[in-house]
A and B are shown apart, each in its own frame.
Chain A
């Protein structure tokens, strides 16, 4: 079974600064997807970014980028120019890419990000 580990329960960053959230995962599969979702105080789960394991290039979405290290099974999220609206719980998630296999997301335990003005 796949597992996802987020070792930082809480992080804080000064507004306009950069912060990196860590995520590691364990899998025996070679093809899969990795995601970062954010959950602000409204509790809505919002997709931040997605990475396909077969792609070597790290995904980027505006101020959000990932550092995907497949051999190390590491998938960190970097938030540049942090804004107050980035304050949220961030979840890393894994999903197998094999057709017919389980399609559910496996989530980490989350990192609570505080943005300081």
Chain B
């Protein structure tokens, strides 16, 4: 009974490199959400996707960040030209898209930018 899977769990990048974070939703879930948690803070919404569609990216920084959820495969959060301020824990959540639509979270990816 696999829950939401995220990989890698830890990612270290140097400034200017690219970071790719992957998320596989729970079985039967078609909605994916990405959140960012800065140190000592709560989670902040970034983007909401369904298969092949970005539904809401109002929380996504305008530059360097992008997300996709292809027809096949995991959702990807991509950060180009990382800076130290991108260091954070990035959480993916999935939901079935119906009813209370409760979101279940993955274990997160901790990104450290050197």
Query: Which A positions have Cβ atoms within 8 angstroms of B?
Result: 33, 35, 37, 42-47, 50, 52, 91, 95, 102-110
Contacts and interface: CB of A to CB of B under 8 A. Distances in A.
A46 B104 CA distance: 8
Nearest to A108: B42
Chain B interface residue number, banded? 20 to 34
A6 to B, nearest CB: 8
B62 to A, nearest CB: 18
Interface hub of B33, B44, B103 (most chain A Cβ within 10 A): B103
Given A44-B107, A46-B105, A47-B105, 20 more contacts: A33-B102, A37-B105, A42-B107, A43-B89, A43-B108, A44-B108, A45-B91, A45-B105, A50-B102, A95-B101, A103-B31, A103-B33, A103-B55, A103-B95, A104-B33, A104-B45, A105-B35, A105-B93, A107-B42, A107-B44
B58 A102 contact: yes
A105 B45 contact: yes
Contacts of A43: 89, 107-108, 110
B48 A104 contact: yes
B41 A109 contact: yes
Interface of B: 31, 33, 35, 41-45, 48, 55-56, 58-59, 89, 91, 93, 95, 100-105, 107-108, 110
Contacts of B59: 104
Contacts, number: 57
11 contacts: A33-B100, A44-B105, A44-B108, A50-B100, A95-B103, A102-B48, A103-B56, A104-B33, A107-B43, A108-B42, A109-B42
Nearest to B102: A50
A108 B91 CA distance: 16
A46 B108 CA distance: 12
